[in-house]
Amino acid sequence: MFLISCPYCGERDQSEFVSGGEAHIARPKQPTELNDDQWAEYLFMRKNIKGIQFERWNHVHGCRKWFNVARDTSNDKIEKIYKMGEQPPKI
Amino acid sequence: MKNKYSIFSLIKNAFSNHENWQRAWRDPEPKKEYDAVIVGGGGHGLATAYYLAKKHNLTNIAVVEKGWIGGGNTGRNTTIIRSNYLWDASAGLYDHALKIWEGLSQELNYNVMFSQRGVMNLAHNLQDVRDLKRRTHANRLNGIDAVWLETDEVKKFCPIINTSQDIRYPVLGGTLQKRAGTARHDAVAWGYARGADEMGVDIIQNCEVKGIKRNGDAVEGLETTKGFIKTKKVGVVAAGHSSVIANMAGLKLPLESKPLQALVSEPVKPIIDTVVMSNAVHAYVSQSDKGELVIGAGTDSYVSYTQKGSFNIVEETLKAILELYPIFSRMKMLRQWGGIVDICPDASPIISKTSIKGLYFNCGWGTGGFKATPGSGDLFAHTIANDEPHKLNAAFNINRFVSGDLVDEHGAAAVAH
């Protein structure tokens, strides 16, 4: 349990948000051209990092907007919050 | 040869104030080389080592454990054992484990306190009723004991449940598996450790794996905090940290690790002599032999390795418990804790070879791995020894995420995720 600073609403309790999992996994432009291994990689395989992980969050009980969070999963400390479409920060 | 535990050894040791009991397992330093090394000294890892030695004559093997044995999820779960899963593959897997549980104390000469007190799953809405009846039929076709109970039969089986139709989520019935129950979780780890140690398996505690050495596509050994260990076969049973180990070998797994919480109350006299689970309101409860209520809560929705979990998850579970069991309204909760569970997209485990020769993974048990401990160890040992899965775990290979042949058990997993 921790606080998240929504880039649109400010600091709120984590229970107002839902996690959308690992960030920066782009949907393939032409899924029909992928083989099964590539599709499985996109759909199921995750880094599941212990340490700094880049992930998507949605302020579902607030503005309902998506944004990115760089969070240390070993202690739940948030390092950086940045908007969708922005490049992940160097940490 | 280890001394046999019995009523006579208990009496004999009483005369010397229980000061002369033999050590249950050695505390060896790692050798330079083993035929196989198991990473993870929890129930599943120790069971794997036990069956590798017992059934496949692989005794020059080791179990390496970062902390102490049974200190991870083996000591953090709510000890529930059942096999009432929907699909044929899961029924085969979990009932294989349940059958081993039924004779485990005798086999290990170690009392794992397996108690077949029954597990009841409650239905709270029309869809629950349909799903649970379907699962009951599927179970019976697979030879697993399961019966459907109407609301009055639920009340008769567990009188403290509030079956009033006026509550927010009334009890509309439930299923009962009578062969299901609980066991003492620490004893399972200790029993398997003692048995494996007796056959020559080295159990190496406080030994963290730092890297996996590869020669091309084959495993060569493990870098650990106690030095390099050469081996051609590595079986990883690291639960919540499976992805961390996989990343060392350059593999990605379809897992997400999340905190799962449980809590126990102050001890009271016997009040609930079965296990009652409810998916819809997310509450499950049983009573330990010490008298504590053992309550399972849900997972957090985000990836975390913190072994804590959020307060709001506990709050929601206790609200549901209080509505179903008003008698517990003044109970005090004594302890709360979290464990990290590795969850697969289809809520089924992976017991499988990998693309790297000699590297095997047993992971993805998510929120319900304890019940499968003996079966998981047996089948993983078979997979490692023969470099081929047993027919009971063939469906649980890692390639199912490529072929699409998933084993979707979200309905039968007790914790919604």
Which tens digits make up the pLDDT trace of A9-27? Answer: 999 999 999 999 999 999 9
Put simply, the answer to whether B306 touches A36 (Cβ < 8 Å) is no
Q: How far apart are CA B112 and CA B378, in angstroms?
A: 17
Dmax over CA atoms of chain B, in Å, equals 67
For helices B185-198 and B88-108, the axis angle rounded to 10 degrees is 70
Distance CA B253, CA B271 (A): 43
CA distance B341 to B186: 18
Best to test chain B binding among A14, A38, A44 (most B CBs inside 10 Å): A44
Residues of B in contact with A48 (CB under 8 A): 243, 253, 255-257, 303, 342
Question: Cα distance from B70 to chain A (closest Cα, Å)?
Answer: 21
What CATH architecture does domain A21-26+38-85 belong to?
2-Layer Sandwich (3.30)
Cβ distance A74 to B403 less than 8 Å, yes or no, reads no
Bridge partner residues of B312 (DSSP): none
Residue of chain B minimizing CA distance to A56: B302
Q: Low-confidence residues of chain B, pLDDT below 70?
A: 1, 414, 416-417
pLDDT value of residue A91: 84
Chain A residues touching B256 at Cβ < 8 A: 21, 46, 48
At residue B335, what is the residue type? R
- What Rg value do the Cα atoms of chain B yield, rounded? 21
* Beta carbons of B46 and B186 less than 8 angstroms apart: no
Q: Which residues of B touch A78 (CB under 8 A)?
A: none
Residue ranges of the alpha helices (H) in B204-325? 242-248, 311-324
**Would the CB atoms of B254 and A44 count as touching at under 8 Å?**
yes
Q: Which amino acid is at B294?
A: V
What does DSSP say about strands B234-236 and B36-39: parallel, antiparallel, or unpaired?
A: parallel
Sheet containing strand A66-72, edge to edge, reads A18-22, A52-58, A66-72, A77-83
The C-alpha atoms of residue B253 and residue B202 are separated, in whole angstroms, by 28
DSSP string, B282-299: TEEEEE-TTS-EEEEEEE
Q: What pLDDT is recorded for position B417?
A: 58
CA distance A72 to A87: 18
Q: From the candidates B302, B342, B400, which should be mutated to test the interface with A, based on the most A CB atoms within 10 A?
A: B302
Name the residue among B252, B303, B342 with its Cβ closest to that of A45. B252
Q: Please tell me which of the candidates A37, A41, A48 has its beta carbon nearest to residue B255.
A: A48
- The first and second tokens of residue B392, run together, are 């009971």
pLDDT for A27-61, tens place per residue? 999 999 999 999 999 999 999 999 999 999 999 99
**Choosing among B402, B405, B408, which should be mutated to test the A contact, i.e. which has the most A CBs within 10 A?**
B402
Q: Which residue among A14, A46, A74 sits closest to B255, beta carbon to beta carbon?
A: A46
Contacts with B381 (C-beta within 8 Å, 6 or more apart), sequence order: B47, B48, B49, B50, B51, B52, B55, B56
- Does A19 contact B257 at a Cβ distance shorter than 8 Å? no
CA distance A24 to chain B (A): 16
Residue B147 zone, left/alpha/beta (φ > 0; ψ -120 to 50; rest): beta
Measuring CA to CA, which residue among B52, B115, B105 is closest to residue B82? B115
The pair of structure tokens assigned to B290 is 């010490």
Residues of A with CB under 8 A from a CB of B: 1, 14-15, 18-19, 21-22, 36-37, 39-41, 43-50, 53, 55, 73-76
| Per-residue pLDDT, B1 | 66
- The upper half-sphere exposure of residue B372, i.e. CA atoms within 13 Å in the direction of its Cβ, equals 28
- With beta carbons less than 8 A apart as the criterion, state whether B412 and B95 touch: no
CA distance A71 to B303: 10
Q: Of A1, A15, A53, which is closest to B303 when you measure between CB atoms? A: A53
Total Cβ atoms within 10 A of residue B2: 13
Instruction: For residue B214, give both structure tokens.
Output: 């590869």
Question: Domain residues of chain A, as ranges?
Answer: 21-26+38-85
Number of neighbouring beta carbons within 10 Å of residue B187: 19
pLDDT at residue A4, as a whole number: 97
> How far is the CA of B128 from the CAs of B123, B150, B175, B197, B416, in angstroms?
5, 13, 11, 46, 13
What pTM was estimated for this model as a whole? 0.96
| A46/B254 Cβ within 8 A | yes
3-class SS of residue B135:
helix
Nearest CA in chain A to B403: A36
Q: Which two tokens stand for residue A57?
A: 């969050």
Q: In sequence order, what DSSP letters do the residues of A17-83 get, joined into one string?
A: -EEEEES--PPPS-GGGS-HHHHHHHHT-B---SSEEEEEEE-TTTT--EEEEEEETTTTEEEEEEE
Give the single-character DSSP code of B61: E
Residues B256, A49: C-beta atoms closer than 8 Å: no
3-state secondary structure of B278: strand
Token pair for B32: 């330079």
Chain A, nearest residue to B344 by Cα? A44
Question: What is d(CA B142, CA B229) in angstroms, rounded to the nearest whole number?
Answer: 43
